[in-house]
Structure 1
Amino acid sequence: VLYGVFLLFSGATLLQGLLCLWLFNIMIVNWNGMSYLTAIKDYRGILCSFAAAIGVACLCALAVLALGLPPVEGLLASVALGYGVMLVWDVVLLYRYFPQSDRSPWLFLQWLDQFMPLALTGLFTNLGLFAHLVIIWAGPIGVQVKGLFYGAPYHDVPALIAFLTILVTSVNFVVSVEVNFYPRYRDYYSLFNDGGVVGDIVVAEEEMLATLNSELRFCALKQLFVTAAVISLETTVLSALPLGFNNLMHGYFRTLCVGYGLYAVGNTVMLILLYFTDYKGAVLASGLFAGVAGLATAVSLLLPQQFYGFGFLLGAAVFFIVALLRLDTYTANLPYRILSQQPMVATDKTGRFTELGRLLDRAEQRYEEGRHKGEPHGAFERTVVRVYRNHWGGSDDR
């Protein structure tokens, strides 16, 4: 809804706005679906989904260019079709492993009250990762593409290519860090749950932490080598590509390569913090990342243009250092964290989001009951007001 309102005042044409909204809605499903895909372990199906999406998008884009169709609308439609293929394929994969639930879809809101630190961690991480781009658009090198659409090509293109250099760490975390660390992690916690003796717990902890340290060290070294190699070869390779790179863009690229490399390793460490349920540490690291990266980028707009990428670099460095120090501190006394720092009695946390979910659930049930009884279609809003008034005793105005 918010993006739809933005598009209404963005200056885009009706067709461009509909294509943007179509792509946005597809990506909502895709991003949520990808969070569950690794759980089903159907890697061949996942690979085919990505390959089909890329193939359809590229073929449609080539057809648009060959037929001389409007490039903006045609390429937007091509990307939306590609991601649409991924959406359908991924949903089919997920339905094979996760059956249809009978529970209300509105009740997911209760988990925001249960695990608010996780929601904040995700929010802060994405703000730190992308807010610096938006801030740069407001600077001297920002350009108005159309209406409310802005960009900074001199900064955005190097940022996009520099972001690709962290793929090695993203892949390495799934196929190496998690694969080797998780069995040790599972064995260690199973000793607490299944009555293991103290000696076995101590040995399991040492093996788990040794594996974790080794994997994190190799992960950081791999990212370091990739970043160093890319920076060494970037002048030759990027100058040969028709991307219009100048000296300023080369400087942005080198700075952002280092920044994204630090972010990638720091994000890996933060994910390990979440393994140990150190939600406060994850919120602290990601919050500092978002705050420092955004503030430093805003301050950099007052400096010469060659310093623009250093705001994100500083934020990523703080993210990496804080997450690493927090992990070292947290694991230094792990048995205490597990046995003594947890609440003595399990409690369900309820708040505004839980109440909102229950309100919408009851409203939907009453709406469905009324619809089956022949009430006119479109009474959902009146049902919400009626349920709210009955539950909270609010007036009509409220």
Structure 2
Amino acid sequence: MAGIGFVLRNLTYKDNLMGLLAGFGYSALVATGPWLFTILSLSGSMALGSLFTTFEQQSTFRIIVIYNFAFSLVFSGPVVMVITRYLADLIYTRKVEHVPGTLLGGLILLFVLQAPLAIGFYIFAADLEVSNRIHGLSNYFLITGIWLVTVFITALKDYKFIIRIFIMGMTLGTLSNPILSMEFGVAGMLFGFNVGLAVIFFALTARVFAEYPYKVRRLFRFLPYFRKYWDLALIGLFFNMAAWMDKWIMWLAPESEQLVGGFPSYPNYDSAMFLAYLTIVPSMASFVLSMETSFYERYLKYYRDIQKHVTYEQIVANQKDLIRSIHNSGRNFFILQGGISITALVLAPTLFQAFGVNFLQLGMFRLGVLGAFYHAMLLFLNIALSYFDFRRHALAISGVFLLTNFTFSLISLKQGFPYYGYGYFAATAVTFGFSFLLVFHMLRNLPFHTFISSNDSVRG
């Protein structure tokens, strides 16, 4: 699945500013995908819906989407991670005739595993009208399906198609939502939003089947990969849980709300963190365009030269080039994201006033910006480990992130309102420090790990 930056970089080769902006736009969508779609579409739906619905209806709609987004991501993580590895192996070994069956089998597995949890929640836990339960469940499964199909569509590298479909679905969902809300309330809002999700899900799925026109067979051929790559499954679970842990804990804050339907929520904290996450979108785009091109080129050279039986001196030289490329990408990220973060911190009061954001979110937003800064760097280092198949080390980082975010967020909750947000910030900073030391320790000893620790024949 690596090297997608090459295709994106070609999109920027128009000798004008629009070409560069287009490349960054595609990169941002590829890097943030359903997450960015949900935030923008949800924000647009809430803004337009405020003209036609009550505050209570908006709050119910908003929290249903947030719950579905959070728990579908967490519970889909293990399956998506393992299937991503399996799909990469299919493409590498040119056995793409199994792709349609893998997509269909993966969707079935995701839906079957999560159906008891989702249905049980909406039937026994959520206090909602029947129509809202049905549309809430539909929303959950559509989001779940998009998590998986996005992996397959990204492998096709047809980013112009991807962005068109996402924009089409986002626009349709945003406009349908308020129109239907006038007549049907929360059910109409959910149905309109689901229309946009359905367009994205089915269009992307159809594109995958059109690209791989093979018979659907051996749907669960990937299942043995769960035994072989159990650590990947845990990474998908732990990292996604860690990303949401502070939000879940803050839903228990004294300032939180018990919304209609029995959903605990702390809207001020959630909104502050979602706004903070938007500050890292440019850096995510820059990462896809830089690290996954310059780094990947050196990564390929390192291993291809080993296959050619080059001298040890050449292997060490290639290793240094690899480390240098990570340093350069990290420096570029630090400068770009650092500038954006500082600007967001300084201009936060002005922006809050201009857009009518509750000033109770200001402190949490600023801490969220700092936390998102470390969170993004942490994600990049975890990806670097995945390139070299250091799965146990990536699992250790995910475990540290989960433990620290749980512990520090709980401490900040007990300290009271002035400390809300410190837990997430401290967790990302500590985990980044741990991952930084671990990644560069592994890279300094890369030849040893290449020939000894990762060599099954030697370990055996």
Pick the aligned partner of 2:156 from 20, 23, 40.
40
CA contact (8 A) 1:173 1:219 kept: yes
Specify the alignment match of 2:317 in structure 1: 203
Identity of aligned residues (%): 24
CA contact (8 A) 1:300 1:310 kept: yes
SS in 2 for 1:105: coil
Q: Give the whole-Å Cα distance in 1 for the aligned partners of 2:186 and 2:394.
A: 40
Question: Residues 234-293 of structure 1: CA distance to partner in whole angstroms, max 9, x if unpaired?
Answer: 1101112233x12x3111110111111110111111110111111121111111111110
Map residues 16-165 of structure 1 onto 2, 5 A cutoff: 16-64=132-180, 68-100=182-214, 103-165=217-279
TM superposition shift of 1:37: 2.6
Pick the aligned partner of 1:326 from 433, 438, 443.
438
Specify the alignment match of 1:362 in structure 2: none
Map residues 358-397 of structure 1 onto 2, 5 A cutoff: none
Q: Which moved more, 1:51-60 or 1:103-112?
A: 103-112
CA contact (8 A) 1:118 1:283 kept: yes
Q: Give the whole-Å Cα distance in 2 for the aligned partners of 1:274 and 1:190.
A: 18
**Does residue 286 in structure 1 map to residue 398 in structure 2?**
yes
Specify the alignment match of 1:262 in structure 2: 374
Specify the alignment match of 1:336 in structure 2: 448
Pick the aligned partner of 2:332 from 215, 218, 237.
218
When residues 285 and 101 of structure 1 are mapped into structure 2, their CA distance, relative to the original with a 3 A threshold, is farther
CA contact (8 A) 1:128 1:290 kept: yes
Equivalent residue letter for 2:317: V
Q: Give the whole-Å Cα distance in 2 for the aligned partners of 1:62 and 1:72.
A: 10
Q: Give the whole-Å Cα distance in 2 for the aligned partners of 1:147 and 1:71.
A: 14
RMSD over aligned Cα atoms: 1.9
When residues 101 and 178 of structure 1 are mapped into structure 2, their CA distance, relative to the original with a 3 A threshold, is farther
When residues 293 and 101 of structure 1 are mapped into structure 2, their CA distance, relative to the original with a 3 A threshold, is farther
Specify the alignment match of 2:121 in structure 1: 6
Q: Give the whole-Å Cα distance in 2 for the aligned partners of 1:265 and 1:325.
A: 13
Specify the alignment match of 1:315 in structure 2: 427
Q: Give the whole-Å Cα distance in 1 for the aligned partners of 2:304 and 2:366.
A: 45
Q: Give the whole-Å Cα distance in 2 for the aligned partners of 1:99 and 1:190.
A: 32
CA contact (8 A) 1:45 1:93 kept: no
Q: Give the whole-Å Cα distance in 2 for the aligned partners of 1:45 and 1:21.
A: 28
CA contact (8 A) 1:20 1:76 kept: yes
Specify the alignment match of 2:53 in structure 1: none
TM superposition shift of 1:334: 0.8
Q: Give the whole-Å Cα distance in 1 for the aligned partners of 2:213 and 2:398.
A: 34
Q: Give the whole-Å Cα distance in 1 for the aligned partners of 2:152 and 2:283.
A: 20
Q: Give the whole-Å Cα distance in 2 for the aligned partners of 1:100 and 1:309.
A: 50
TM superposition shift of 1:91: 1.0
When residues 346 and 199 of structure 1 are mapped into structure 2, their CA distance, relative to the original with a 3 A threshold, is closer
Q: Give the whole-Å Cα distance in 2 for the aligned partners of 1:142 and 1:279.
A: 37
TM superposition shift of 1:82: 0.8
When residues 71 and 227 of structure 1 are mapped into structure 2, their CA distance, relative to the original with a 3 A threshold, is farther
Equivalent residue letter for 1:184: R
SS in 2 for 1:106: coil
TM superposition shift of 1:72: 1.8
SS in 1 for 2:226: helix
TM superposition shift of 1:170: 2.1
Q: Give the whole-Å Cα distance in 2 for the aligned partners of 1:118 and 1:170.
A: 22
TM superposition shift of 1:99: 4.2
Q: Give the whole-Å Cα distance in 1 for the aligned partners of 2:458 and 2:183.
A: 61
**Structure number with larger C-alpha Rg:** 1
Pick the aligned partner of 2:356 from 215, 236, 242.
242
CA contact (8 A) 1:169 1:265 kept: no
Specify the alignment match of 2:71 in structure 1: none
CA contact (8 A) 1:141 1:154 kept: no
When residues 313 and 242 of structure 1 are mapped into structure 2, their CA distance, relative to the original with a 3 A threshold, is same
SS in 2 for 1:11: coil
Unaligned runs of 5+ in 2: 1-114
Question: Residues 191-236 of structure 1: CA distance to partner in whole angstroms, max 9, x if unpaired?
Answer: 1223333343233222222112101221122111111111111110
SS in 2 for 1:150: strand
Q: Give the whole-Å Cα distance in 1 for the aligned partners of 2:307 and 2:213.
A: 29
Q: Give the whole-Å Cα distance in 2 for the aligned partners of 1:196 and 1:96.
A: 42
Q: TM-score, normalised by structure 2?
A: 0.71
SS in 2 for 1:302: helix
Question: Residues 109-155 of structure 1: CA distance to partner in whole angstroms, max 9, x if unpaired?
Answer: 32121111111112111111111111111120111112331211121
Question: Residues 75-115 of structure 1: CA distance to partner in whole angstroms, max 9, x if unpaired?
Answer: 21122111111112211222233344654323333212111
Q: TM-score, normalised by structure 1?
A: 0.82
SS in 1 for 2:259: strand
Q: Which moved more, 1:301-310 or 1:98-107?
A: 98-107
Q: Give the whole-Å Cα distance in 2 for the aligned partners of 1:166 and 1:77.
A: 30
Specify the alignment match of 2:80 in structure 1: none
When residues 106 and 17 of structure 1 are mapped into structure 2, their CA distance, relative to the original with a 3 A threshold, is same
SS in 1 for 2:457: coil
CA contact (8 A) 2:242 2:401 kept: yes
Q: Give the whole-Å Cα distance in 1 for the aligned partners of 2:310 and 2:213.
A: 35
TM superposition shift of 1:35: 1.9
When residues 328 and 346 of structure 1 are mapped into structure 2, their CA distance, relative to the original with a 3 A threshold, is closer
TM superposition shift of 1:311: 0.8
